[in-house]
Amino acid sequence: GYNLIIIDPPWENKSVHRRSIYPTLPNKYLMSLPLQQLVHSSGALIGLWITNREKLHQFVEKELFPAWKLIPVGVWYWLKVITDAGAMVSELDLNHHKPYECLLVAGTLMQARLRFFDHNDVPHRRVAITVPGQHSRKPPLGVLLADFAPKPVRALELFAREMNANWTSWGNEPLRFQGKSYFVERVPED
Owning domain of residue 103: 4-14+24-177
User: Is 56 part of any domain?
Assistant: yes
User: Is 19 part of any domain?
Assistant: no
What is the count of structural domains for the chain? 1
Distances (CA, A) of 132 to 4, 53, 67, 78, 187: 23, 20, 32, 9, 37
Rounded to two decimals, what is the model's pTM?
A: 0.80
Q: Which CATH number does the domain housing residue 8 bear?
A: 3.40.50
Is residue 80 within 8 Å of residue 139, measured between CB atoms? no
Tens place of pLDDT for every residue, the chain, 190 residues? 999 999 988 887 665 555 556 667 788 889 989 998 999 988 889 999 998 888 899 999 999 999 999 989 889 988 888 866 767 766 667 666 777 889 999 988 766 555 555 556 778 888 887 777 665 567 777 888 888 887 889 999 998 877 778 888 887 766 665 666 666 677 777 6
User: Is 186 part of any domain?
Assistant: no
User: Is 190 part of any domain?
Assistant: no
Mean per-residue pLDDT over the chain, rounded: 79
CB count in 10 Å sphere of residue 116: 21
Signed CA dihedral, 74, 162, 32, 5: sign only: negative
